[in-house]
Amino acid sequence: MAKNIRTLEPKALWNHFADLNSVPRASKKEEKVIAFIEAFGKDLGLKTVVDDAGNVIIKKPATKGMEDRTTIVLQSHLDMVHQKNADTTFDFAKQGINMILDGDWVHADGTTLGADNGIGVAAIMALLSSTDIPHPPLEALFTIDEETGMTGAMALQGGMLDGKIMLNLDTEDDDELTIGCAGGVDVTATGDYPAEDVPDGMSSFRIGIRGLTGGHSGMDIHKGRGNANKLMNRMLYQADQKMGLRIASIDGGSLRNAIPRESFATVLIPDSQEATFRQWVATKQTLLKDEHRTTDPGLNLVFEATDTPKQVLGEDFQYDLLRACYACPNGIYRMSPDIPGLVQTSNNLARVIVEDGSYTIMCLTRSSVESEKFDLAEAIRSTFELIGADVEFDGSYPGWTPRPEAKIVKLMADLYRKRYKEEPKVNACHAGLECGILGTNYPKMEMISFGPNIRGAHSPDEKVQVSSVQKFWGFLLETLEKV
């Protein structure tokens, strides 16, 4: 299907995107894509530098007649979220993304597509490789590890860039100009638990919640989508109360920045309660599907007998764990009192792993207000410390303070109005962008973020709109011409 993708317009952008999607690029495993981009820059004869963190900087002189223009930094991140459906057989480390053209949209076959932020990377590659596009001096900044800590942006040193304006190509609505974003912090609770031998007279089952919509834990957190970890915990809690369920293991969610789509648990039920449990699961599926019919129409419960595990959680710990996960905040914590419709603070209960005597619970807490970010993180810490967990904060990054008066904001807003005969949405977002971090070493640099329509980012439903990529590309080229 990549052959069809390569015929789309603009051909240079889509061909670079197809090339990029053949290279494995998971966060914190970017060695191959770093080498790929480094070789790309050097093959073009452009000044190419890889810093100690792995960020790649490629500099291209202005086209004739534009040498005196302001140097522009074009910025996108190299890593992508690697996520697939449970029933999809795919090895991200060895296979290129299987892309499918479906009308006006491109998506992948059961995996994330990598349009976030691959379309931005491909657009920059198309500009660097062009011979007929007018542009000012360009500095391409390809950062690493944006999705799981923004460590590349954090490690970028001052003095590496000369540009006065940065165009970040990493937003997902083509009618928006983003000028601010939330910061975030990883919250991780870990510990050991006492295990017990499986009691006599128990039957073993594997239950799962699948088919939820999922999505980006920043951009989609306000949409009310189901969180598989919270729904699984709700089921386990209620079955414990009603039928004496015992838990052997839980494995839910995947990445911190993805709303969990799936969760699975191995459980045991007293033989005397098996018929009741089967009926209860069927009733619970009907209830959950009805509750989430709008946001998660694909929700489905799976339920099957399984081999008896060797041990289960101790009763007291199981009691504590289920209540702690129930109490853990998830979703919107506070809306912005200043910007209508903007989520100010949220948490994503992203990962729950309980097995073999230890447990790990992972959250991503976001806020555009630094003090409130840590206030919510402390609430989560307190919740899990009550059950004896060790709780750590890691990967904290700042938000990006809006500067609506910046010249680049006014220029691009005016260009958008003239080009599309409508008002752009100049706003801040609840996702984490690298601009705030990069601005710590480049405080005078003006920054703005924009991009094409991408839907379902961080999930196997991810897709990018072909006509919107064309709109984004044209807008980018006119911006470079007029800046």
Catalytic residue among 30, 79, 174, 461: 79
Same domain membership, residue 312 and residue 265: yes
Same domain for 331 and 246: yes
Final residue in a domain of this structure, among 341, 363, 397: 397
Q: Residue 418: its pLDDT value, please?
A: 97
CATH number at residue 234: 3.30.70.360
pLDDT of residue 121: 98
In a shared domain, residues 386 and 475: no
Using CA atoms, how far apart are residues 33 and 148, in angstroms rounded to an integer?
A: 16
Q: Is the dihedral of CA 418, 468, 341, 337 positive or negative?
A: negative
Do residues 332 and 215 share a domain?
Answer: yes
- With beta carbons less than 8 A apart as the criterion, state whether 241 and 273 touch: no
Q: Quote the pLDDT of residue 334.
A: 96
Q: How many whole angstroms separate alpha carbon 205 and alpha carbon 338?
A: 49
Phi, psi (5° rounding) for residue 425?
Answer: -90, 100
Do 241 and 311 share a domain, yes or no? yes
**Strand-pair category, 183-192 with 358-367:** antiparallel
The set of residues, in sequence order, having a beta carbon less than 8 Å from that of 297 and lying 6+ positions away, is 213
Residue 314 sits in the same domain as residue 440: no
- Expressed as residue numbers, the domain containing 248 is 185-397
Instruction: Verify that 117 and 72 share a domain, yes or no.
Output: yes
Give this prediction's pTM. 0.81
The separation between CA 292 and the C-alpha centre of its own chain, rounded to angstroms, equals 22
For the domain that residue 426 is a member of, what is the CATH number? 3.40.630.10
Count: domains in the chain? 2
Residue 41's beta-bridge partner residues?
Answer: none
**What is the secondary structure of 197-237 as a DSSP string?**
EPPSSEEEEEEEEE-----BTTTTGGG----HHHHHHHHHH
Proportion of the chain above pLDDT 70, given as a percent: 100
Kindly report, residue by residue over 299-316, the tens digit of the pLDDT. 999 999 999 999 999 999
Cβ–Cβ contacts within 10 Å for residue 64, how many?
7
Active site residue 79: yes
Say whether both 389 and 438 belong to one domain. Answer: no
Domain closes at, from 334, 367, 397: 397
- Of 375, 397, 419, the position where a domain reaches its end is 397
pLDDT of residue 2: 66
End-to-end CA, the chain: 37
Which pLDDT score, from 0 to 100, does residue 154 have? 94
**pLDDT value, residue 182:** 94
pLDDT on residue 224: 96
- Known catalytic residue at 146: yes
Contact between residue 73 and residue 166 where contact means Cβ atoms under 8 Å apart: yes
pLDDT at 9: 97
Assess whether 242 and 334 both reside in one domain: yes
Residues 87-112 have pLDDT tens digits of: 899 999 999 999 999 999 999 999 99
Task: State the Cα–Cα distance between residues 182 and 401, nearest whole angstrom.
Answer: 9
Rounded distance between C-alpha atoms, residue 39 and residue 57, angstroms: 12
Q: What is the pLDDT of residue 86?
A: 81
The active-site residue out of 30, 146, 173, 186 is: 146
Q: Are residues 442 and 367 in the same domain?
A: no
* pLDDT at residue 340 in the model: 87
Joined together, the tokens standing for residue 85 give 């459906």
Encode 35-101 in three state secondary structure: HHHHHHHHHCCCEEEECCCCCEEEEECCCCCCCCCCCEEEEEECCECCCECCCCCCCCCCCCCCEEE
Q: Tell me: do 227 and 277 sit in the same domain.
A: yes
At 104, phi and psi to the nearest 5? -95, 10
Q: 10 Å Cβ neighbour count for 374?
A: 17
Which regions in the chain score pLDDT beneath 50?
Answer: 1
Say how far apart CA 155 and CA 152 lie, in whole Å: 5
Q: Are residues 120 and 258 in the same domain?
A: no
